[in-house]
Structure 1
């Protein structure tokens, strides 16, 4: 026995070298087998470098015990101590694989298979493995020879001499050699069968893809043909016997265990189909009956054994069918559904440990890559690889996947495959579950090079890579562009000149020659940008054609692409981010306003994606005001400040317009919004909030440049009309009043002069010529109209309204709401005007008659000549004016007694009147529908023409574009106009009754 003092020292050294059971390890080191080297520090250090030093030491002792003589034992020890390459390989295997340790204990001389590998021999192929298996003439010797070859692959793997992809390829080559050896043994056992037939073995799955696991089913398909002159039925029966025998040789368990199961269930009809078919039978099945997943499986098919010529004929016959599979109806949806079904079938108790099938697992990588291959590989032969990593690199090189995404996906795939390999290597058992035991996780982590905190680091790295896979799988596998590309005919997907010209004509492009020039400019060349454009354009052409003006959509796309051509994120966004490409196509072909805004701020394309760019959800007033005030604070002058505010306004107008267009048009995945009122409310609130924030920024700039921190008088901007009602359209003026109140100690004349100067400067700054949509301030609703002062004090407003206010002014004040400046002053202004707009006793008949007279006068004076009144959205019968004046009359009559009527918003007031019983639910619905429709018509005209208008355009293409926005497809413009007349006619009937008392 070792002395206690020495034992303690050795015990400590063992713990330091990674042993967990130092007591047992110390006892083994004191055994007779290790006596010659027990004190050699080289051995202890080498053991400590393994995945499991305890397991490696036990395996070494068992191997020494199995040596046939003391001389053989001494030879092994001397070689281990003297030869570092062998020492690392042998101990590395013993520390990672209990199963291979047992093999070495049974076959004590096989350790010498690890001693002969020099650098030039590190990556053996099928031929080298066939030589190693050449002497195996029965199933038992084949298993032994197979394990000996496996031992050498594992040694290179655990020592890092090969990477995970090379190890997987070597395992596939070893499987190929083993299948050939097994078929040779089967043929030797039944030479009469071998003489009757030609039999080809086609590898599928991971073996076919050169990415096999240590322990996995080897998926195969068999093809048989009769030799010349032989009966076909007898030949197929002979081929079936040979195939069955070959499968048994590999799959059956003997004293040496089994090799691996050979699985032929991927064949036509699965288990119910014949094991061997002729080539013509295979082709007929795939042409008529095969399901989508069967073509996906054929991606990895390659001949590996038997008749090589027949195997190549099989691949040549079926490959074209594989690359046509994406044209099948619902192809992309079927593949996606199959992946979801796999996840759903994982036992709940295993899903958190499942390395292969769970979300974020290996199957996510494989399915994403295969789907991209099948969709894009029709037109790009460079993608047609059966090996996942090779295909992923080809997808990245071709621009179908971002280079960063591809690199991250490859890193994650390699890590997860390495985990899978090391888990299986331990017991040579087929499993994809991460072990739960701490000792197993510790060995696994150390085998992957994680030494500081093996268990913790393993779980962190595993979860990190799984999260990357899950994110990128969702991004790539469910990419909307995929389904659109899959629906293209092969010629369309290639964008050849002739095919493109024919397609452009068929899609309705008015000038196919100009369109072809745009396509040539965008997609020619060998750059990565051109490659991505070639992927995008065939789909975009169809999306542009879904609009009223596809030529304009394509032209606008070229302009945006030219403007952002050197911006790396632009094309990546369209290729990768959700519905960004389809959203852009809709926006660019919907009219002039949104494209014009985008041309002046091309970076706003980022808003069309689903990522961190902000999306299409409008920003609230507080957020906008904060951003604009911050920009104003950074600006050097008032002019620069307003320029900065206009930049924010431009971007946000684009966001609002794009959201409106996308919501109106819809997509296949997201139908147009059913609630048209919600679309109108969203636009009105967004434009109103943006206008308020812009005015707040302009006010801040004026005050800062002239007075510094504080104006001599409190100052507020009151929104009126549609502005106060949160109902601004894209082309609406901003109706406002300006109110001020002198600060303590400030002369009223000084205060009035300061307020007037503020208003004048604000108007000047906002009227500086710009390419952006104008923001016009209209103060004509102020007391005395154009003849009155631009700004009044609160006291002056009170005096005017008490003495001179007319009924139309009370009506106008129904929309009054503070929008910028001093909030307290704004609140007190509202308190001042509330009694006027909601009179305590309602309206007398004289006031009602005056309101009716004013409305009739307005319509007769303002309705443009030559315009069909029934199609005028603002002043026509049943239009905006009819509905709004009717609602406002109800508010003035009943607002004092019904608090819910006290709102500046038309639709809210209408709903409140319905709830109060002042209007029937049916009549309220009729008025609401007409108001929403008329508002949408005005918004549509501005979006399509780029300038405001209250009537339907006369230009045929513009009228069709308005129809498309309102949900009417090609050829249905007449239906749109009929529907508008019908809706407004019903509304006018209600107005006649409620407003005119008819």
Structure 2
């Protein structure tokens, strides 16, 4: 300090040392005695405190109470340093020292300065010494020991594990002392053996400074004593013990003793026998109760009885993960805890919670406990109570990657230290990081940050929280056993049964089958097997993250077998992590993508980046398809095979982009519809070539042909399993006979359908022309004049409604436009449709709901024809179009959601109604797409089989246990949409 800058006043010098009010600090220093303000060693010790002002204030109060303290501290610089470091952090412990100056001796440098005996002897002795006020004696002795432990903590003389264990041991000693007080107050105390089982952080020996101490009470009658009487005595003892800790006296209180973790919680008996506990756990216990018992440890009372209890329940704890839905229960409970914390947090505090907030202590603890419980069943090394030792065991066993474990341990250690500093200040239970700059500065300095304590603390805290949350999500909601994947090192020490158990814990339904796939992929000494051994440790975890791990691993093996020793494939996966992760996710989602890849495994290369999965312009696809047809010339079947391969590739690209969240459901519909247009156009070109080649002399066809898209294709709303609904129109060329023209047109249409239906490994595009006039009984192809005559004389109201989706998609451009012009007056009638037509449309809709719904289908879960499903939304939009499109050009669209948006803009539909209808339409469309992606075949109903429903829910973004939430969401969304339909479609 002597080399620092010179200041004109002492107050200025003190302000430069970190005192908030230099003048006040000067007054307090002078009150300590002559020369205190110039005592450089004293000033150094004060400046080193986390809060110099708090340290000096507390020292000044102590000097007033004990005038001799200043001399004692000058004589013992080590004692002074320790005292001021505690005073600079804890106003509460300073208050204790001011009331009990003799406890300053506990801060001496010797190992036995904390007392003449360890806490489990000192505290019970303090209340047995005939003290007039035993509760006060307990509190004084407890805080004296706490003072010594806090000094070791803030000076870095004890590690976090030593501090938390010391706090737990101190709490256990206090419980023993409180039990001694209770025995002195309770008649017949000798009639019962009572054990106090520490739970939570006390049981795990990782307690913080101020916390409820969780316990469970276990009792057994003394020899010859009636059990009922013994339990009554034990209950009185337990209640008295709890009061001895929580009661407020002149020396304050210790903490609450919480027995809420006992069987049946707060409504259950406070004390039970071992047999009663076991009977409850075997029959009634919930998953969370076994998670809580992970920490159980005898801490006070009859320790022999306590150990017997912990041994008895231990076997149940480590078998709990075999219960159905265990992992899902733990995950669901965590989400409930998070939701409760958010709901009950005070304004502005949710994001400052270091315990329950995102990336807080609970995130780390729950992740570690879940992994322990799942894998500790077969690996006793994981059976540790405390978080950090358990995390170390998980890392050593390969259950958590070393880097992940290191990051979690660092985050946990930092957050626990912050928790300690927060609680030391007032000895109050708190887990909220303060917003005040001075408080943040004290925290930062308490952690050894000096340059910008508040800023550095905040930045470090946020970084650890982000890291902890990320790893919590990875390990807790997508548990990964990397030891199973590290085949070379785990196969040597794991039996097949243990390896299968680990795979099952990861989520593999057929772990034995998974082991066979792993062995097939990694067996041998080839370079391919060596790379697979490098890949699989990570791939297995990514498959586990996907909806269907078994399908993912099987698909990976099949594709790897197909590509064999292709050099680029495994190298791409090894060197491009994003490709491997995306492939694992796609293969583990369902059969559709896997099927596409199996027929063209080289398409794995397109998974390299989001740009590769971007939507390709329709014009580029059309040019590529046309080139394929041109290349094959007269070999029309080969031409269409090439076009269908192109379509397969683009279907894969679209599905990958969809599952990767790169495009939404509207874009999926547009892309699939454009792809169908391109395919139909290419097949039409090939069919025209085939029919032309059969004409005498290769003459031109006697007619022009256009293909009109209808239904979902016309609406640009195709799903993965959609047929191509079309109508064919032709127009004889000048001078051609109508008969020859009709024959040629019919031949082209039939050839187009044949070419697209040829057996091939590619997904078929079924061309359905049943929406044509007279349906299957009518001509496959008609002229414009024929369509005009039919629609003017015979068409039904439903045909006008169906024509709302009519759109030219392939063939002769001009003819297609002429057809659209022809049907516009029919589908957009001037003045709107008549009331009679509206009634007919409503009757038809009602009949369709009654007759076309498949037998046994749940109307509430059928995405197409069910209540609030696609048909409801589409017919509602179409009725608005039929009534108003003639007067409102913006309604003249073939697309459902565009029509609804236009209706809102024109005041024909309320924004809230449009939102409900659009939400239902999007969700139903997404579900239909997801069913196809999962099953590999189309479906219209929400699956009834639990596994399929879970897979569909996962594909839609729900968590592993979210299938019921998925169904609830669909019912709620469609119920609201149906209410809109009832008003808008059925009411005038």
TM-score range, shorter chain: 0.5 to 0.7
User: Deviations along 1:425-477, whole A, 9 cap, x unmatched?
Assistant: 11111122223333323222322223333333333333333333344434443
Change (3 A) 1:53 1:659: same
Change (3 A) 1:431 1:331: same
Change (3 A) 1:555 1:253: farther
Change (3 A) 1:678 1:548: farther
Match of 1:173 in 2: 169
CA shift at 1:89, angstroms? 1.9
Which residue among 343, 346, 349 is the counterpart of 2:344?
346
Which residue among 73, 76, 79 is the counterpart of 1:76?
73
Distance, in Å, in 2 between the alignment partners of 1:448 and 1:55 is 16
* Structure 1 SS opposite 2:38: coil
Change (3 A) 1:586 1:338: closer
Match of 1:15 in 2: 15
Which residue among 155, 162, 165 is the counterpart of 1:159?
155
Distance, in Å, in 2 between the alignment partners of 1:916 and 1:841 is 24
Match of 1:182 in 2: 178
Distance, in Å, in 2 between the alignment partners of 1:381 and 1:651 is 55
CA shift at 1:274, angstroms? 1.4
User: Deviations along 1:382-402, whole A, 9 cap, x unmatched?
Assistant: 333332233333444444444
- The answer as to whether partners of 1:544 and 1:553 remain within 8 angstroms in 2 is no
Pairwise mapping of residues 925-944 of structure 1 onto structure 2 (< 5 A)? none
Change (3 A) 1:233 1:144: same
CA shift at 1:495, angstroms? 5.2
User: Deviations along 1:393-423, whole A, 9 cap, x unmatched?
Assistant: 3444444444444333333333332222111
Match of 1:378 in 2: 377
User: Deviations along 1:655-691, whole A, 9 cap, x unmatched?
Assistant: 852764998xx99xx9xx999x986754565xx6xxx
Change (3 A) 1:145 1:315: same
Distance, in Å, in 1 between the alignment partners of 2:136 and 2:54 is 27
CA shift at 1:24, angstroms? 0.7
Task: Tell me if 1:583 matches 2:586.
Answer: yes
Which residue among 135, 148, 161 is the counterpart of 2:125?
135
* Structure 1 SS opposite 2:345: coil
Pairwise mapping of residues 414-813 of structure 1 onto structure 2 (< 5 A)? 414-479=413-478, 496=497, 517-518=519-520, 521=523, 543-544=549-550, 552=558, 581=584, 583-586=586-589, 593-595=596-598, 597-598=600-601, 601=604, 604=607, 614=610, 618-621=614-617, 656-657=651-652, 660=655, 682-683=671-672, 685=674, 725-727=677-679, 806=701, 811=706
* Structure 2 SS opposite 1:257: coil
Distance, in Å, in 1 between the alignment partners of 2:57 and 2:338 is 44
* Structure 2 SS opposite 1:360: coil
Distance, in Å, in 2 between the alignment partners of 1:462 and 1:617 is 37
- The answer as to whether partners of 2:688 and 2:748 remain within 8 angstroms in 1 is no
- Please say which of residues 883-892 and 278-287 is displaced more in the overlay: 883-892
* Structure 1 SS opposite 2:56: helix
Match of 1:103 in 2: 96
Which residue among 206, 228, 243 is the counterpart of 2:223?
228
Task: Tell me if 1:965 matches 2:937.
Answer: yes
Change (3 A) 1:810 1:125: farther
Match of 2:490 in 1: none
| Unpaired segments ≥5 residues, structure 2 | 128-133, 485-493, 625-643, 711-727, 789-802, 829-836, 853-863, 865-931, 946-988
Distance, in Å, in 2 between the alignment partners of 1:562 and 1:200 is 65
CA shift at 1:811, angstroms? 4.6
Task: Tell me if 1:42 matches 2:41.
Answer: yes
Normalised TM-score (structure 2): 0.62
Distance, in Å, in 2 between the alignment partners of 1:885 and 1:323 is 72
Match of 1:278 in 2: 273
Distance, in Å, in 2 between the alignment partners of 1:808 and 1:617 is 40
Change (3 A) 1:63 1:532: same
User: Deviations along 1:706-725, whole A, 9 cap, x unmatched?
Assistant: xxxxxxxxxxxxxxxx6xx3
Which residue among 242, 252, 257 is the counterpart of 1:257?
252
When the two chains are superposed, the root-mean-square deviation of aligned CA atoms in Å is: 6.1
Change (3 A) 1:187 1:514: closer
Distance, in Å, in 1 between the alignment partners of 2:28 and 2:934 is 87
Match of 2:28 in 1: 28
Count of aligned pairs = 753
Match of 1:146 in 2: 142
* Structure 2 SS opposite 1:219: strand
Distance, in Å, in 2 between the alignment partners of 1:280 and 1:126 is 40
Change (3 A) 1:547 1:566: closer
Change (3 A) 1:217 1:564: farther
- The answer as to whether partners of 2:245 and 2:255 remain within 8 angstroms in 1 is yes
User: Deviations along 1:155-213, whole A, 9 cap, x unmatched?
Assistant: 122222334443223211221222223323434555841x2222111111121222211
Pairwise mapping of residues 886-897 of structure 1 onto structure 2 (< 5 A)? none
Change (3 A) 1:374 1:187: same
User: Deviations along 1:617-654, whole A, 9 cap, x unmatched?
Assistant: 644449999xx9xxxxxxxxxxxxxxxxxxxx999977
Match of 2:310 in 1: 315
Match of 1:197 in 2: 192
Which residue among 197, 208, 214 is the counterpart of 1:219?
214
Which residue among 904, 922, 925 is the counterpart of 2:809?
904
Normalised TM-score (structure 1): 0.62
CA shift at 1:905, angstroms? 6.2
Change (3 A) 1:624 1:443: farther
Distance, in Å, in 2 between the alignment partners of 1:601 and 1:328 is 37
Distance, in Å, in 1 between the alignment partners of 2:413 and 2:215 is 25
| Unpaired segments ≥5 residues, structure 1 | 486-492, 608-612, 629-648, 689-721, 737-777, 788-799, 816-836, 930-959, 972-998
- The answer as to whether partners of 2:195 and 2:302 remain within 8 angstroms in 1 is yes
Distance, in Å, in 1 between the alignment partners of 2:502 and 2:383 is 28
Change (3 A) 1:250 1:556: farther
Match of 1:60 in 2: 59
Distance, in Å, in 1 between the alignment partners of 2:785 and 2:378 is 65
Distance, in Å, in 2 between the alignment partners of 1:65 and 1:465 is 43
* Structure 1 SS opposite 2:298: strand
- The answer as to whether partners of 2:404 and 2:471 remain within 8 angstroms in 1 is yes
- The answer as to whether partners of 2:418 and 2:443 remain within 8 angstroms in 1 is yes
Distance, in Å, in 2 between the alignment partners of 1:323 and 1:266 is 18
Distance, in Å, in 1 between the alignment partners of 2:823 and 2:297 is 73
- Please say which of residues 248-257 and 533-542 is displaced more in the overlay: 533-542
CA shift at 1:269, angstroms? 1.7
* Structure 1 SS opposite 2:126: coil
- The answer as to whether partners of 1:780 and 1:786 remain within 8 angstroms in 2 is no
* Structure 2 SS opposite 1:359: coil
User: Deviations along 1:112-162, whole A, 9 cap, x unmatched?
Assistant: 2111346xx89x999933244353123222211111111122112222233
* Structure 1 SS opposite 2:13: helix
Distance, in Å, in 2 between the alignment partners of 1:456 and 1:502 is 44
Change (3 A) 1:452 1:814: same
Change (3 A) 1:227 1:873: same
Change (3 A) 1:536 1:557: farther
* Structure 2 SS opposite 1:222: strand
Change (3 A) 1:529 1:252: farther
User: Deviations along 1:802-823, whole A, 9 cap, x unmatched?
Assistant: xx964566659999xxxxxxxx
